Structure 1
Amino acid sequence: MEAIVQDVYGAADVLHLREIARPVPGDGEVLIRVRAAGVDQGVWHLMTGLPYLIRLFGYGLGKPKTPVRGREVAGVVEAVGADVDRFRVGDEVYGTCEGSFAEYVCGRKDKLARKPVNLSFEEAAAAPISGVTALQAVRDAGEVTVGQKVLVIGAGGGVGSFAVQLVKAFGAEVTGVCSTGKMDLVRSLGADAVIDYTNSDIASGGKLYDVILDTAGNRPLSVLRRVLAPQGTLVIVGGEGGGKLTGGFERSIGAPFASLFSRQKFKGLVSKETNLDLEALSSLIEAGSVKPAVDKVFPLEEAPAAVRYLHEGRSRGKVVVGVS
């Protein structure tokens, strides 16, 4: 089968289309004929091995432990391993795995769900990581409720585009923060107001927010606190823009400690990939409350260009690699 493989850490030119052996599902695993694979920021981190902190999490110290990139998948079940009773050959599924930039990939049964019936494979591939992360940020960490005022920073990106829709689905008022070129997208997702950060400061209007979801990761805590209500909640989703050691994740790690000295709550979100939250997301998608915002679909051989496009911040919503 063909797959996008890397032998060393580095920029996107370390990714190569190569013929490799088709994987065989083990106990509790499903073999998926990949139809599409989502591109998230985690792909860039695993490709480059940066920040170095991620290498300590089992992804390989000197070179990638799993050479095939890609973690979001949508496709058709080709075979099932032992101890799999939730899926059958021919089922259309989506979820997370290791190595989805390939014609076939194996995924664990507890990280897969049936594909929402109203989505294409390309749309479904855009949802597993970004959609579930946004759901956990809005529902669990932010505890968003009806009538609250919510600020989503990075509203035009992968997680942010889902978060805007989820906040609306939970009955709250949402203001999205994005660049000029993404404002129309964020409005189309249901944002009640949009702030263009290239022209306006988020604090310029004097508005306070009950919940802030920061998916961009590049504003100091002191700035965010100024627009957070006295008993509001700040949720930091991931981390970008830091040094090579921690890459900005120190904001998420340190957030709970700052809460000890304030009535405001600061939370760092580390999302958990589960089939239960995939199924919850599917329900929202099939009800019409949420729809993946897919910007571009690249063919498998152009996966390196897809990763570059995402990392450069050019995408309006999600980037996807089409495999078949």
Structure 2
Amino acid sequence: MTDATAPMLEVRNLEMHFSLGGSVLDRLRFGKKGPRLDRPVVRAVNGVSFSINRGEIMALVGESGCGKSTVAKTIARIYKPTGGALRIDGEDVADHGFAQMLPVRAKMQMIFQDPYASLNPRQKVRDIVAEPLLQQTATAAERREVPAKIEALLARVGLNAEHAGRYPHQFSGGQRQRIGIARALSVTPGLIIADEPVSALDVSIQAQILNLMKDLRDEFGLAYLFISHDLSVVHHIADKIGVMYLGFMVENAPRDVLFSRPRHPYTRALLSAAPSIKEKRDKEEIELSGEVPSALSLPSGCCFRTRCPFAWDRCAAERPALRDVGEGQTVACHLIDEPERDVA
């Protein structure tokens, strides 16, 4: 039985590591029982924890390669997590097989970044939207209701009934993303994972899609995991924000707290680099130098120390853990203990 008070999504110490190598030639040469070579491991996600309540929108932000999209795909069980707990509507699905995941997928759907690549070009819109719905429909009476449901879904996302007979290439980018949203809504999920759903769209269309997603949240009580690198988009839609760097969660806070009082140097650097049409005379400027380290060989201690302007000896010796600093904000930084070192 579903617990209405439990989070729609709960992630605890999630890890996702990828072993490199192990090609077809290796298997032909050694076989499954042959000698195992030492293979390098990409540590894409490292102990990430957060939760999302019903009707709440959480955004994950960070530079390209920080692991936010890997988190989204692992939660969607496109990848099987290396470790940690992953609960959808109270059910731990981290170790579920394909058959066990089928009923869970009715509770969780995904909206992808490229609305054209995520739609089958050989299917008409009615078939695209109906496919997940038919997978979850058991009786003949329910199947007879599918055409009416498709028409209602298309109308809800701003499309006409006549669009059901067209192919994806006959639509604009914004219309294709609306089709993707209708498909996600077809099985009445409680959680939608949106992986940069507006980054491929024009700015004016972005606003329309974001407002549509917020309206659907209010109407259906949806929970969103929203992946983005655009802080202006995140400020518009998110209720709370998690900041990731090199597979680690470095800060997590309600939206207004994070934008008004960022505590981690990486978060502050992201906000200082964000473009704005408004003049900010007192805007903090933090310039990062160097490159993001490789996930094949993580730095000791704090992974951000190689680029942090405030790093000192402790940062190299001890990896900081997320700590509660009040107002729902958690930060993984040694500056919390020694704020006097926080000088430009």
TM-score with structure 2 setting the length: 0.25
Task: Point out the structure with the larger strand share.
Answer: 1
Task: Point out the structure with the larger helix share.
Answer: 2
TM-score with structure 1 setting the length: 0.26
